[in-house]
Structure 1
Amino acid sequence: MSISKETLLEMYKRMNQARKFEEKVNWFFARGMIHGTTHLSIGQEASGVAAVMALEKGDLVSLTHRGHSQFIGMGIDINKMMAELMGKYTGYCKGKGGSMHIADIESGNLGANGIVGGGLTLAPGAALTQKYKKTGKVVLCTFGDGAANEGAFHEGINLSSVWKLPVIFYCENNLYGMSTAQSKSMNIENIADRAVSYGIQSFIIDGYDAIEVYETVQKAAEMCRRGEGPVLIEAKTYRFVGHSKSDANAYRTKEEINSWKEKDGIKRLRDKILKLGFATEKELEDIEEEAKQSIEEAVEFAQNSPMPPLDTLEEDVYAD
């Protein structure tokens, strides 16, 4: 195992923060306290947090509309993230981005994207910049199984393959594109099998195993730094909640959802840490409480933050 005790404990903390953050956001949305929409990744913390933690400082990440876990996994300021969802001026995008469009170039977040598959062509552009400037940095492009049937998927991977760009195409396959099961939208079991069409390396991993996710993304990043990219990774995962707040989950059974909850990636990492002797039950409980408290503090920060001033209405707005 190439992951240290310190990294594992930090990963456990961030995974708990991601779960608590989204549970709190879900609570606010249900009561009309946050406007717009949001797409939660409750259940996908292992595939989200561990993947970005495997990167190096200076590497870049493009997020999807379901990008909370990844952004929190980058170790960002959760206060500013909560403020953004509440539309406050202290948010990452001054309250104008909301859940689906949080960006922070300084930390390497190229931006979440409300367009399905939107990052599949943006990430190669960022990767081309890294190659041209010889920065040695890679780009992690996250997307879901639904985006794998978009034209941008094929265009982005094909051109990246031709130019050998340092980009990791990272598919979090949660088995449903909105309410459509993968089996009803594609005649293959593994999205990663498509990599052979572009002559690139691919990996299929258990998205509920945070350690496997971390080590695989780390390996893929090393390949990209050596000029062997791009790489396609498919992480098999599952979301416990619906596609968005308006999803009644009518297309899935409670039995199916509960069967995945029993495999919870957070609990799985917890058990692994205890087995390795990296922490005691009490120490893990303290980490869980610390994660919970950080979310409560973020809520207080956001609620006490000002709304964007009216004179900033036309700032940061662009049009062709």
Structure 2
Amino acid sequence: MMCVTRNNWLRYLTIILIILCVFFVNIYVRDNIKNEALEKESFLKQRQDRHDKRNSVSNVADNLHTPVSNAGDETKGAHEEECRYVYLDLGSNKGVQIRKLFEPALYPGAEILPYFDKIFGNVEQRRKYACAFGFEANPRHFTRLKYIEDAYKRKGFRVTFFKNAVSNEQNKNVTIFSETNFDLDWGAGILDVAIHNKANMTRYEVPTVDIVKFINEEIKPLNPKAVFVKMDIEGSEYTVLPHMVKNKVLCKNVLTSMVVEMHGWAKEQMKSELDLKKLKQSMKAQICAPTEIVPVDDESYKDDVEVDPGA
């Protein structure tokens, strides 16, 4: 009799243990399924966020007239990362400054390089996280800029050039004056003052871009950690800078730092008394921490280096 009782007790214990095992296995399976669902949801959300960010970068050119590159191909070959940093090159000329940003080793001694390191980090960081936008009004440079853009995109560098004159107005055609001698063609702009040989001066009609509109509608939505601007627009700064101050974009939380070349020879024709001192004074009226004006004018390697951008 006791043997039967003991056997029943062991049978009941075995059943209880089996039930407990099934219970805990069920909990374990449910938790795994829940975790997998959460991980999948997180992955899908991250992928959607990257997709939205790429669309944001792709739309940068949508409201601009005649970009050098195809706006629809904006991010081909680019890293699936956000534009943590933005370099805005106003007056790109032959594209040398943007080449310095992504290939600094080719330009030893260039004064701008320490500022790139300070703002964008080392070259590997900016190749991965920086987006560069260049504007050039001189049509004679468009073919070269397009070549640089395509070559860099194949390397995964996010670079876009636009063939617009930087202005305080949007999509207005302006006349650009250029040297006939291409080797001397450094002063192309809306004024003919810098052109020495007026008899053989070349004229082009080029659309403008309102740079404030570009910054507000295209740069700000990228939410970059820092924006560095180089402005060398051959006299147009006397119109563009007051426009930027008036619209409060020369603030550190919008444009972190800026290199500005003031062309004194253009002041009379532009009917302006603006200089760097007066610019800094007017920036204080924006009621914000003003953009840092970097005291450097790096025009080294004007003719660029012999190394091909696509190499």
Q: TM-score w.r.t. structure 1 length?
A: 0.34
- Normalising by structure 2, what TM-score? 0.35
- Tell me: higher relative CO, structure 1 or 2? Use CA pairs within 8 A at least 6 residues apart: 1
Question: Structure 1 or 2: larger strand share?
Answer: 2
